[in-house]
């Protein structure tokens, strides 16, 4: 079994002091999502992190696909723990503390499996509290919550006009095109591909 490098990144819950900040700088495919998934699982299963209700935990990522993938990974982790998958149990035991109820003598691993099952039930029963959002949706939520303070009505709608942004970016690109440079070659190649893809009977590519 390969060593779990995220154990070197994530602190045990008893060592965490809040407010707590952790920045992961790493290249693509190096395990950032894996570490963030374990951090989320650590937060909801720990017996030492106060206020760790599902509705109090927010994860922010870049795209809808990334948010969807992270939700799936968290649920996969919890299911693996619930069914007693050895590798997952060993990894998560290194970063969380299971606090037994008064007089409870249930083995730690059994209690961990039970808590994972309870967490799955909480997520399914209160799915809207399972908040893994994109940066855009998070900022939109903040804006709408503060709309009156900012001078807007409460029913204000946010509309993303990507066309104007694209036209502005394309104009900046064209201004930077110089004969013999890389940008000119890219533009020429794009124009060639557009012309190649147009129907033979059409005077314009967009017909």
Q: What is the pLDDT of residues 61-85, one digit of tens each?
A: 888 898 999 999 999 999 999 999 9
Query: 193 in a domain, yes or no?
Result: yes
Residues 57, 60, 65, 69, CA torsion sign: negative
| One domain, residues 168 and 137 | no
Query: 150 in a domain, yes or no?
Result: no
Segments in the chain below pLDDT 70: 1-8, 26, 29, 99-106, 198-207
| One domain, residues 172 and 92 | no
Contact 67, 114 (CB under 8 A): no
| One domain, residues 72 and 15 | yes
Predicted confidence at residue 1, as pLDDT, reads: 42
Query: 189 in a domain, yes or no?
Result: yes
- Taking the chain, what is the end-to-end CA distance rounded to the nearest angstrom? 58
**CA distances, 75 to each of 25, 83, 95 (Å):** 25, 12, 18
Predicted confidence at residue 47, as pLDDT, reads: 85
Predicted confidence at residue 191, as pLDDT, reads: 84
| One domain, residues 192 and 117 | no
Predicted confidence at residue 3, as pLDDT, reads: 46
| One domain, residues 67 and 11 | yes
Give the chain's domain count. Answer: 2
Range of the domain at 191: 162-197
- Closest among 113, 120, 72, 122 to 92, alpha carbons compared: 113
Global pTM?
A: 0.68
Q: Please name every residue paired with 60 in a beta bridge, in sequence order, or none if there are none.
A: 133
Query: 155 in a domain, yes or no?
Result: no
Query: 191 in a domain, yes or no?
Result: yes
Predicted confidence at residue 100, as pLDDT, reads: 62
């Amino acid at each position: 079994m390969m060593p779990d490098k995220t154990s070197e990144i994530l602190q045990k819950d008893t060592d965490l002091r809040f407010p707590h900040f952790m920045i992961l700088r790493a290249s693509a495919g190096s395990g950032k999502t894996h570490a963030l998934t374990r951090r989320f699982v650590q937060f909801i299963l720990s017996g030492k992190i106060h206020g760790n209700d599902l509705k109090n935990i927010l994860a922010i990522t870049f795209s809808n696909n990334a948010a969807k993938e992270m939700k799936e990974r968290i649920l996969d982790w919890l299911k693996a723990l619930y069914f007693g998958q050895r590798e997952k149990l060993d990894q998560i035991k290194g970063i969380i503390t299971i606090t037994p109820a008064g007089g409870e003598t249930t083995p730690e691993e059994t209690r961990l499996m039970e808590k994972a099952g309870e967490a799955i039930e909480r997520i399914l029963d209160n799915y809207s509290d399972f908040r893994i959002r994109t940066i855009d949706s998070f900022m939109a939520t903040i804006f709408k919550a503060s709309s009156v303070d900012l001078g807007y009505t409460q029913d204000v709608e946010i509309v993303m006009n990507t066309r104007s942004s694209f036209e502005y970016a394309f104009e900046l690109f064209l201004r930077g095109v110089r004969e013999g440079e890389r940008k000119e070659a890219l533009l020429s190649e794009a124009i060639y591909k557009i012309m190649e893809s147009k129907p033979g009977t059409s005077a314009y590519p967009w017909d």
